[in-house]
Structure 1
Amino acid sequence: MPSVSVSVGIIFLGQIFIGTLGNLSLLGKYLFLYFRGYKTRPIDLILVHLTVANILVILSRGIPETLAAYGLEDFLSDFGCKCVFYASRVGRGVAFGSTCLLSVFQAITISPSYFRWAKLKVKAPKYISTFTALCWVLHLALNTSFSLTLTSRLKTRNITNKIDFAYCSDPRTTKGVYTGHAVCTAIVDVLCMAVMLLASGSMLFILFMHKKQVRHMHRTRGSSRSSFETRATHTILIVMSIFVFFYFLSSVMQIYVTFFGRSIILLFSLTYFTSACFSTVCPFVFMTVASM
């Protein structure tokens, strides 16, 4: 077995172990608080959905990539290929949407009373469950077309116009479906990214104004709540920065392998590894940077 494949397998195993452990720990924390009857915050529901999506991203492609790196070939059927890539895409989309929702909700939470959207503070918590459910429904429906062309590599050995992954293949025989899916996904991603950047800018502005106005009130009665909201906002801003970094890095690599590196399977593995890095790092940021 080539040393490169062994190294790739070890890297994916490490990512699976670290990422799954971190997300399960964070998920277990919120489930423990819920079943013990502790009062939970609306933001906790978003984080639960985010951790579930992260686990889906890490396991759906991480396990097949590891098996392929250790020499197992053609171990997935047509249905298996469709399920693996479908789960991965849905998890990625929900993680994206949850991060966007998290940033918007936090921006609303810390907005002062003179902001226009401060009135949403009371209404926003009531609609979180609705928006998280819609996020799942949207990406479950949006990514259905993406998995239609995926098939086992055994069925595409004689097809030249295809994209080979380590364990599945995409003959791209239905170009219209693929193009339509790519356009829809790009539109949703751009809209979410724009909303996230707008929310980030608003939070940074609010924190800057807050620091100037209440610097002399650190030891007052209300300072503990302000301190908590500030720590929570800092954590979300860090998570968003990490997401944007890995998203753009993964997008650039995806564009490259799609148009220039179709026959290099290792590049596809590296692209997936990069896209799953956010899901791996995210729970540790929440657990270490601030008490969310």
Structure 2
Amino acid sequence: MASWDLVIGMIFLLQMMVGILGNFCLLHHYLFLYYTGCRLRCTDLILKHLTVANSLVILSRGVPQTMAALGLKDFLGNIGCKLVFYVHRVGRDVSIGTSCLLSVFQVITISPMNFRWAELKVKAPKYLGTLNILCWVLSMVLNITVLAYATGKWRNKNTTKKHNFGYCYIVHSENITDSFSLVLMLFNDCFCLGLMIWSSGSMVYILHRHKKQVEYMHTNNLSHRSFPETRATQRILILVSTFVSLCTLSSIFHICSVVLNNHHLWLVELSTFITACFPTVSPYILMSHDSRASRLCFA
């Protein structure tokens, strides 16, 4: 095994360990609050689903990529490849969907009462559970075609276009179904990213306007930063900004690897690493801005 492959394997292994540890701590934090009868925030339900989705992304791509980098080839088989890619795609789409839901819900929460969607401030918390379940169901249905494309190396023929991931292939056939699936995936990603960018801009605008409104208050013990809604909004803004940046960067490298037909495997490895960056760092961003989690997980 080349020294470079060993370095890549160690990097993926370290990233996976850090990501799983962070998501486990955050999930343990929410379960602890639930079973001890503590009052949960509305956003905690969304964050629990986000944590589970992030864990699936890290494990489904981090484990096989680490093993492949360390020299273990063709170990999944045809069914294993299908399962790994399907779980990864579902986890990734749920991560995008719940991040989008989180940012939109926070916009509704901090909007002033005279806002034209003020009625949503009352109704939105009631539908969060349903929307989270719907996000999982839609992701599982939309990615069912991955089961037809993912396959083990030894099952591939030279008659179709293949994309090598180091341990499995994605085999594409030039037909209408393949093109429709790609367009549907891109539409879903662009729609969610567009909503997150819009909601982030709206949150910045609302916070800026709120700051202007309270500038006349000069009391030392009151600051707009002290409001729970403001702290939560700042946390979500950092989270969404990180997600959009990393998702855009990962998409650029993924498109390059597809255009080059995966002749450069390092592009696939780099894209995989960047894709797993958000699931890895997001629990630490959330815990650093949540005093409840900081006391429990960093004690």
TM tier relative to shorter chain: over 0.9
CA distance in 2, matches of 1:150, 1:186: 18
In structure 1, what is the equivalent of residue 173 of structure 2?
Answer: 173
1:170 is paired with a residue whose SS is strand
Contact residue 256 and residue 267 of structure 2 kept, 8 A: no
CA distance in 2, matches of 1:187, 1:139: 13
CA distance in 2, matches of 1:169, 1:261: 11
Pair 1:207-2:204 in alignment: no
Structure 1 residue ranges without an equivalent (≥5) = none
Question: Following superposition, which runs of at least 4 residues in structure 1 exceed 2 angstroms of deviation?
Answer: 157-161, 173-178, 215-226, 263-266, 289-292
- Give how far 1:270 is off: 1.3
Contact residue 246 and residue 278 of structure 2 kept, 8 A: yes
Distance 1:6 1:54, change over 3 A: same
1:209 is paired with a residue whose SS is helix
2:172 is paired with a residue whose SS is coil
CA distance in 1, matches of 2:66, 2:126: 42
Pair 1:243-2:243 in alignment: yes
Residue deviations 1:156-190, cap 9 Å, x none? Answer: 26557322221111232364332211100111111
Greater mean deviation of Cα atoms: 177-186 or 248-257: 177-186
Contact residue 163 and residue 261 of structure 2 kept, 8 A: no
Q: What TM-score do the two structures reach when normalised by structure 1?
A: 0.94
1:19-30 matches, within 5 Å, as 19-30=19-30
- Matched residue pairs, number? 292
- Give how far 1:261 is off: 4.3
Structure 2 residue ranges without an equivalent (≥5) = 293-299
- Give how far 1:7 is off: 0.8
Distance 1:246 1:218, change over 3 A: farther
Distance 1:261 1:173, change over 3 A: closer
In structure 2, what is the equivalent of residue 192 of structure 1?
Answer: 192
Greater mean deviation of Cα atoms: 86-95 or 209-218: 209-218
Please tell me the root mean square deviation across aligned C-alpha atoms, in Å. Answer: 2.0
Contact residue 146 and residue 177 of structure 1 kept, 8 A: no
Aligned-pair identity in percent equals 49
Distance 1:33 1:267, change over 3 A: same
Contact residue 86 and residue 143 of structure 1 kept, 8 A: yes
CA distance in 1, matches of 2:25, 2:203: 28
Residue deviations 1:242-291, cap 9 Å, x none? Answer: 00100110111111000114222222121111111011111111111343
CA distance in 1, matches of 2:121, 2:262: 48
Contact residue 146 and residue 178 of structure 1 kept, 8 A: no
